[in-house]
């Protein structure tokens, strides 16, 4: 026999609705047992009125903090940018385990590195080998690990083609739940921003990419955060970088990224030159730029800081050390406490068990 459900208040919210797939993650809620005024779960969720042609409305039940709602990652990221003055620190992640580990440690935002995605999924260098499907699939997986999780910023490279392809890329990212992404001005046969020999397109061609991206996110009514990135410093100099970022800002880009600063003074000058427009700092230790700490970046006025190799480089070092030990000594030497159960717990074991138990399943009645 079906249970009776009721809601205290239903309010249509047409102003904030976006075509983000992650915008409407919960099909019904909150539920009330018959004769009870207490919801089974007190939260602001969504009610699906028509399963054939879904229309979602917010169900209001008191006030709920934004971070407790399973809503668009883009809204979360934009909230951090517009309603706080904190530096948003984003560790670079490249797969499910690295993302889960960052989430376990409480980071408020994540960054999907293109170099890490290319290396981990394809076993290739960051030389324009990964294309839209590679990047989108990885970003989709990471962005949807946890509907209550941190927003994901992703590498979008050059947009993978002309303006039509840039628009398609932005749409795919938005529909995958990606909160924001950076779009650069390198030629299509691009390379990692911390390699020599980079070549960029003309300023006009770069702005065509930016316009295509801005038009797409507006058409989809998305809060997607578009980050305009320039790699022109190496070949055209600092002043051209500033002019490109100013032009991208004027076309509607939300954040700027000047890749490959040569000094701390140059980084601080860029923030001042483009203020109050927010800038993102890409930290790549042992790359072409000087080491800038989180505290230094915050003092300079940066709003977002990504660490592209934060998990990829240590993972390589640890894997190599372990495999050398196995080759030379016949043992792996797994650290104490790193059991199969512990690794699976990082990857959501408890949540998976709760789904089974909550549905009346018996698969985990005796534990794991």
pLDDT digits (tens, 9 = 90+) for 42-76: 333 333 333 333 333 333 334 334 445 556 899 99
Question: Cβ(130)–Cβ(122) under 8 Å?
Answer: yes
Average pLDDT, the chain: 85
> Could you give the C-alpha distances from 359 to 39, 185, 205, 354, 355, in angstroms and in order?
19, 50, 54, 8, 6
List, for residues 290-327, the tens digit of each pLDDT value: 999 999 999 999 999 999 999 999 999 999 999 999 99
User: Collapsing DSSP states into helix, strand and coil, what is residue 46?
Assistant: strand
- Structure tokens, 6: 């009721």
Run of H or E residues at 281? strand 279-283
How far apart CA 8 and CA 11 sit, in angstroms, is: 10
List, for residues 241-296, the tens digit of each pLDDT value: 999 999 999 999 999 999 999 999 999 999 999 999 999 999 999 988 999 999 99
pLDDT top residue among 28 and 72: 72
The confidence score (pLDDT) of residue 71 equals 60
Of 91, 215, 104, nearest to 159 (Cα)? 215
Among residues of the chain, what percentage have pLDDT more than 90? 78
Question: Cβ(242)–Cβ(230) under 8 Å?
Answer: no
Domain boundaries, the chain: 72-311, 316-359
How far apart CA 226 and CA 210 sit, in angstroms, is: 9
The confidence score (pLDDT) of residue 133 equals 98
Q: Where do the H-state alpha helices sit in 30-150?
A: 73-83, 96-104, 114-117, 132-143
* pLDDT score of 180 more than 60: yes
Q: Which CATH architecture has domain 72-311?
A: Alpha-Beta Barrel (3.20)
> Quick check: pTM over 0.85?
no
Q: Read off the pLDDT of each residue in 226-236 and give the average, rounded to a whole number.
A: 97
Phi, psi of 45, rounded to the nearest 5 degrees:
-125, -160
């Amino acid at each position: 026999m079906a249970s009776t459900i009721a809601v205290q208040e239903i309010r249509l919210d047409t102003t904030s609705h976006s075509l983000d797939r992650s915008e409407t993650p919960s099909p019904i809620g909150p539920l009330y047992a018959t004769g009870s005024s207490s919801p089974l779960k007190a939260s602001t969720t969504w009610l699906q009125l028509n399963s054939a042609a879904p229309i979602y409305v917010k169900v209001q039940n008191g006030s709920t903090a934004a971070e407790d709602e399973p809503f668009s990652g883009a809204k979360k990221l934009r909230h951090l940018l517009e309603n706080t003055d904190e530096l948003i620190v984003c560790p670079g992640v490249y797969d499910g385990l690295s993302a889960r580990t960052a989430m376990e440690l409480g980071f408020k935002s994540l960054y999907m590195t293109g170099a890490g995605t290319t290396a981990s999924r394809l076993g290739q260098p960051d030389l324009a080998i990964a294309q839209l499907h590679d990047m989108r699939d990885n970003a989709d997986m990471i962005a949807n690990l946890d509907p209550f999780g941190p927003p994901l910023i992703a590498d979008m490279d050059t947009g993978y083609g002309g303006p039509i392809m840039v628009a398609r890329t932005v749409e795919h990212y938005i529909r995958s739940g990606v909160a924001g992404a950076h779009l650069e001005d390198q030629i299509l046969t691009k390379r990692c921003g911390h390699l020599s020999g980079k070549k960029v397109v003309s300023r006009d061609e770069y702005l065509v990419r930016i316009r295509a991206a801005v038009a797409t996110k507006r058409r989809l009514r998305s809060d997607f955060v578009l980050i305009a990135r320039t790699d022109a410093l190496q070949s055209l100099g600092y002043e051209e970088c500033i002019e490109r970022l100013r032009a991208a800002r004027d076309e509607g880009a939300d954040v700027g990224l000047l890749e490959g600063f040569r000094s701390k003074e140059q980084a601080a000058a860029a923030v001042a030159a483009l203020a109050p427009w927010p800038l993102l700092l890409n930290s790549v230790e042992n790359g072409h730029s000087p080491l800038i700490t989180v505290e230094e970046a915050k003092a300079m006025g940066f709003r977002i800081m990504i660490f592209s190799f934060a998990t990829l480089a240590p993972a390589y070092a640890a894997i190599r050390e372990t495999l050398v030990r196995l080759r030379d000594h016949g043992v792996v030497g797994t650290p104490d406490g790193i059991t199969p159960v512990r690794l699976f717990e990082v990857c959501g074991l408890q949540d998976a068990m709760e789904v089974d138990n909550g549905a009346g399943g018996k698969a985990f009645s005796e534990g794991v």
